[in-house]
Amino acid sequence: MKDLINQLLRGVVIGVANIIPGVSGGTMMVSMGIYDTLIHCITHLFKEFKKSILTLLPYAIGMLVGILALASVISWGLENYPLPTNTLFIGLILGGLSPLLKKIDKKKINAAAVIAFIVLFALIIWLGFQNKDSIQNADTIDMNIGQMLLLVVMGVIASGTMIIPGVSGSLVLMLLGYYKAVTGALKTVASGLVHFDFAALGQPLLMLIPFVVGIVLGIFGVAKAIEWLTNKYPTATYCGVLGLVVASPISLLIQTDMSGASFVIVLISIITFAAGFAGAFLLARGSKE
């Protein structure tokens, strides 16, 4: 039961991370020491069906709970208390670096590994400087066949960035102009389910179903590519992942509005950072990786 609760909580953290611009669900997987396990279960879903489903299901349920139940809470925190909210996630990211560092064979670090680290580190910093307030995001989308196919493509892109550490799927969706429409549809579905207003679910589900289809397709494709890279070029791949992960806190701080940060807010931010750091450490304990 303790392990099940731990898996559900990890899933909640991953789910919440995937809907926050600048935060990566893949980074949270790395920080909690479960990245390779989840990638293996995804890529071996049909070969090891029962084992993979039993492993993935608690995380999937936790992610769904995190997305539907906590999206509004986190959005409120980012809007009203951006620094403490972001330092919570920074703590979660940095608190789990140890398992990743252990995967890197220091003796095998070569030019390719260093280049992978630098290039992917720079990519995340560049994404951090993208001004999300100046990006045009429509609140709704007029649905048609072409738009549904495009949503499948958006799902593929989003899913890839969701499981690649350091790359924020939400930020990529924002850059592509689909963030508000997708998150708005999620909030409408969550509200409709809570209030049993099933009539309100029609339009949002019409948008979300092709998006989810794209997510499923993308997850399998990207997971296969990541597994191949970690098997073929483990040191360079993990150094690249390290670049993505350590750049994420910097990217988050770049995007954080600190104009109203007082002494009290800074103090609270230190506390939320410590809570996130401790949370990542505790959630990583007992991991098989």
Q: Provide the 3-class DSSP secondary structure of residue 36.
A: helix
pLDDT tens-digit map of 145-188: 888 888 898 888 877 767 777 666 676 777 677 777 887 887 78
Residue 94 lies in a domain: yes
Q: Is residue 289 part of a domain?
A: no
Does 34 map to a domain? yes
Domain that holds residue 202: 2-284
Confidence of residue 53 (pLDDT cuts 50, 70, 90): very high
Write down the pTM of the prediction: 0.69
Q: Which two tokens stand for residue 273?
A: 């950072």
- Within a domain: residue 174? yes
**Percentage of the residues of the chain whose pLDDT score is greater than 90:** 18
pLDDT at site 168: 67
- Higher pLDDT pick, 160 / 47: 47
User: What is the rounded CA–CA span in Å between residue 178 and residue 137?
Assistant: 6
Please check whether residue 150 lies inside any domain of the structure.
yes
Which of 120-124, 186-190, 260-264, 281-285 is predicted least confidently? 281-285
Q: What pLDDT digit, counting tens, does each position of 177-218 carry?
A: 777 788 788 778 877 777 777 777 777 888 888 988 998 888
Report pLDDT digits (tens) over 21-45.
Answer: 666 778 788 877 888 889 999 999 8
**Domain contains 175:** yes
* pLDDT of 138 strictly over 70: no
pLDDT, averaged across the chain: 82
Which tens digit of pLDDT belongs to each residue from 230-274?
889 999 999 998 898 888 888 888 878 787 788 999 999 999 999
Q: How confident is the model at residue 103 (pLDDT cuts 50, 70, 90)?
A: confident
Collect contacts of 182-191 with beta carbons under 8 A, ≥24 apart: 182/154, 182/207, 182/208, 182/211, 183/19, 183/71, 184/139, 184/140, 186/19, 186/67, 186/68, 186/71, 187/71, 187/72, 189/68, 190/68, 190/69, 190/71, 190/72
Indicate if the pLDDT at residue 289 is higher than 60. no
The answer as to whether 264 is a domain residue is: yes
Number of domains in the chain: 1
Closest CA to 154 of 123, 175, 132: 175
Assess if residue 147 is contained within a domain.
Answer: yes
Please compute the mean of the pLDDT values over residues 5-9 and round it to a whole number. 86
